[in-house]
Structure 1
């Protein structure tokens, strides 16, 4: 079972190849990639529907990937605003910021407009990245029904091993990689209401840049 909080910083790492993980039964049983793993070779879509390969993306500069549940999530929108506030400092450091969610490209564009964002948002509609990073999990029937009814979440439902139709979401997470795609920092918390402080992200980014 995943501990309530996963957070580590490392300066000297050996790359480990990871394989895609199955969708976890719930948020407490995910198996997220850790420090020393490499960013998966996954291609997603940008706000214009154009393909973006994550490994190609990191070749230009160290990258902060943040996984969020969607533009419908108020906690995710707060986090997006906090990241927007530190983005100028990240740019000065030579670090790029990339958000990943199950939202469609059109919904990502709406999020960018609503929150006046300049950083990159990528669509993981088919959950390829969420599964490759080991963050995808089935929500309960209660949560699936509530999110569909009260929050108007329109994401396609996935079939559980027992044959039930459920909503699949990523556990909110932060990953920081170098230009070789090696993960130096990760934070994944099953409690979607708890997100890492901006100061922690800045400190971790500095360690990666100055390694």
Structure 2
């Protein structure tokens, strides 16, 4: 079963209000409105693309250890997944799918990191809940996401909805800004060039982890 088919199945049950979700139609309509407006804004078209230079970053893992993209790139190509947080079921399913493909990434010499604005405590929960073998890095204020062109502010009506659902992003992220990253996936070559980029303003749509393997195979066949 593909990642997207799993996401579609979850979305169908969630939007139908099936237990245990029991989500009222008004909530679904508000979420659809926000997604449609983000798509219409063209924000995704302004994100970094294949051929662009990837920003370097140093972020903390859940245990407070600093992880440098430059150090990881010394070892081989780097796969980066930006996700919204442990509170997002679509993100958790994506992380699980990435974990399944992690051995293939490693055989091609690549490292994998996931980046989220959430606090270290929530990143530890992500690792435990999804049984991950790769680091989750905390991106305060979505600064690295912004450098990749992914950060966006939630509209006021969506902030109010999140508050009503007890989805307190400032508490989750330790940041009062009410911003999120669009889900994004990147493969960065050892020279810092982005070899693969997939950004979707619709958080229910995610690329298959296997989609990155061709780019990794190409860079693996080129002598460093």
TM-score, normalized by the shorter chain, greater than 0.5: yes
> Equivalents in 2 of 1:38, 1:52: separation in Å?
19
Mapping of residues 131-146 of structure 1, within 5 Å: 131-146=146-161
Q: Which residue of 2 aligns with 1:157?
A: 176
Matches within 5 A, 1:19-168: 26=38, 28-30=41-43, 31-150=46-165, 151-153=167-169, 154=171, 155=173, 156-158=175-177, 167-168=178-179
User: Residues 112 and 138 of structure 1: is their aligned pair in 2 closer, same or farther, counting only changes over 3 Å?
Assistant: same
Aligned length: 179
Q: 1:40 to 1:142 in 2, by over 3 A?
A: same
Q: Within 2, Cα distance between the matches of 1:132 and 1:86?
A: 27
Rounded Cα–Cα distance in structure 2 between residues aligned with 1:59 and 1:169: 29
Question: Counterpart of 1:126 in 2: which secondary structure?
Answer: helix
Report SS of the residue matched to 2:121. Answer: helix
Q: After superposing the two structures, state which structure 1 stretch, 121-130 or 45-54, moved more.
A: 45-54
Question: CA separation of 1:88/1:144 partners in 2, compared to 1, >3 Å: closer, same or farther?
Answer: same
Aligned to 2:200: 189
Match of 1:21 in 2: none
Which whole-Å CA distance do the structure 2 matches of 1:128 and 1:57 have between them?
19
3-state DSSP class of the match of 2:141? coil
SS of alignment partner, residue 75 of structure 2: coil
Shift of 1:26: 4.6
Higher relative contact order (CA 8 A, sep 6+): 1
Structure 1 residues not aligned, in runs of 5+? 1-24, 159-166
Q: Which structure's CA Rg is the greater one?
A: 2
Query: RMSD between aligned alpha carbons?
Result: 1.8
Using structure 2 for the length normalisation, give the TM-score: 0.74
Per-residue deviation, residues 38-96 of structure 1 (Å, max 9, x unmatched): 22122211111222222232221111001001111010001001101111111111111
